[in-house]
Amino acid sequence: MLEEVPKAYKTQINDILLTALLQTFTQWTNTSTLLLDLEGHGREDLFSDVDLSRTVGWFTTIYPVLLKLDDNRNLEVIIKSVKEQLRQIPNRGFNYGLLRYLTKDENIKTRLENQPQSQIKFNYLGQLDFTTTDSLILGLAKEPTGNNRSPQGKRQYLIEINSWISENQLQFTWNYSRNIYQQTTIENLTQTYIINLKNLINHCKSPESKGYTPSDFKAANLNQRQLDKFMSKIKKRK
Distance CA 96, CA 50 (A): 19
- List C-alpha distances in Å: 30 to 89, 117, 176: 25, 20, 21
Q: Are 120 and 36 in contact (CB under 8 A)?
A: yes
pLDDT at 139: 67
Q: How many CB atoms lie within 10 A of CB 205?
A: 13
**Sequential pLDDT tens for the chain (238 residues):** 888 999 999 999 999 999 999 999 999 999 999 999 999 876 666 677 878 788 887 778 899 999 999 877 899 999 999 999 999 998 888 889 889 989 999 999 999 999 999 999 999 988 877 555 555 566 667 788 888 788 888 889 999 999 999 888 999 999 999 999 999 999 999 999 999 999 999 999 999 898 989 898 888 888 888 888 877 777 666 6
- For the chain, the structural domain boundaries read 5-133+152-237
- Specify the CATH number for 5-133+152-237; select among 3.30.559.30, 3.40.50.450, 2.30.140.10, 1.10.3720.10: 3.30.559.30
0.95 cut: is pTM over it? no
Q: How many CB atoms lie within 10 A of CB 116?
A: 8
